[in-house]
Structure 1
Amino acid sequence: MEEYGWYFISCTACKWQLERSETTFICPNFKCKKPNTVGLIRYRFEVKVCDDSGNEGTFVIFDKEALKLVVRQAPDVMNEMSESGENGSNEDSGTATPQCVLDIVGRTCKFQVKVNDFNFKSARTTATVSRIIDDDVQNEKNDGKRQRLN
């Protein structure tokens, strides 16, 4: 998780990742039409997963589904890290991943993933988690369809 960070700053209107200018954040989504936007910290992290047969993959988990695993809002986690003096910035190579995010390692979950053309054209192969099945997040049984977070 350290390599790509655990959060991003999004547009509150369209949820796209904001770009930083000298004095403000700018939404790059031309459909958004919000010239001066306020940023909101949202989860975005990558996890390596494997199933019972040893197949491995990298999944990207965004805010809504990440909340099912972490059970804490990203802005609250960032505030706590800032208050305690931990480095919560994605700006440098010393990105600190909060313990509540690290605690998902080893959990067994069932994912529904979204795959599109980008997944096959990108230099990095990842799939976006579109849904985590709630019952399976809390169920300790492993039926071969669940993915173990590494």
Structure 2
Amino acid sequence: MLYGSFPSVAWFECTATIDDVVCGSAWYYIGCRVCHAKATKGPTTLMCIKCGKSDIVGVPQYLTKLSVYDNNDQAVFVLLGDAGEELTGKTTSELVESYYEANESVGDEHFFHVPQALLNAIGETRKFLVKVSSHNFTGKVQSLTVTKVLPLEAPVPDASLGKNVDQETSHDKEDPADELVKMSSDEIVSRDAKRAKCG
């Protein structure tokens, strides 16, 4: 796995099989249409702290946790933004809209249920572009951010969960999704802890 020393931010291309969709938290969030940061509720509108705007258009964005494995190890991937659409073939908006239509009578907690389009990916072997930074390995939870799901036809890298594709120095700009992953990673159970499977 990727526990050795590496630059502040690095990208790795890897091939892994999806073992499960981690349940227990929302699989999407409402973000700013412009910067994709998580929107916050104002008195009457949605606000974006990052953009500094008090009246924004909120759009659903993927924030889905996948348990994956390869021949050597297991990990938790956090699927963000376009990567979710690349995996399922559906936008977050499509899945949210169809799910709400099918579950109108269910209470407010229904957003925790994972849509079938994500559950259908369980058992698939896919190629992922994974972003790793130092915060991924500072606590008990070790989760990796997926920024892209590559086509199955893409060449297989030499090392499954460890081929370095690109690097970024510490002074380079942080991705706006990093903060969401940091916040959501507290909810992920360590791969060594017991958790219930869903799907």
Which of 96, 100, 111 is equivalent to 2:117? 100
Q: How does 1:1-150 map to 2 (within 5 A)?
A: 1-29=22-50, 32-53=51-72, 55-85=73-103, 92=109, 95-136=112-153, 145=160
Letter matched to residue 17 of structure 1: K
Q: Contact 1:52–1:144 at 8 Å: present in 2 too? A: no
Q: When the two structures are superposed, what TM-score results if normalisation uses the length of structure 2?
A: 0.61
SS in 2 for 1:72: coil
Letter matched to residue 145 of structure 1: S
Q: Distance in 2 between matches of 1:97 and 1:87?
A: 17
Structure 1: tracts of 5 or more residues without a match: none
Q: Distance in 2 between matches of 1:12 and 1:82?
A: 20
Count of residue pairs the alignment pairs up? 140
For the structure 1 residues 88 and 107, does the alpha-carbon distance in structure 2 shift closer, same or farther, using more than 3 Å as the test?
farther
* CA displacement, residues 67-96 of structure 1 (integer Å, 9 cap, x when unaligned): 11110111111111111126898x638721
For the structure 1 residues 123 and 23, does the alpha-carbon distance in structure 2 shift closer, same or farther, using more than 3 Å as the test?
farther
Structure 2: tracts of 5 or more residues without a match: 1-21, 162-197
Q: Contact 2:42–2:54 at 8 Å: present in 1 too? A: no
Relative contact order, higher structure (CA 8 A, sep 6+): 2
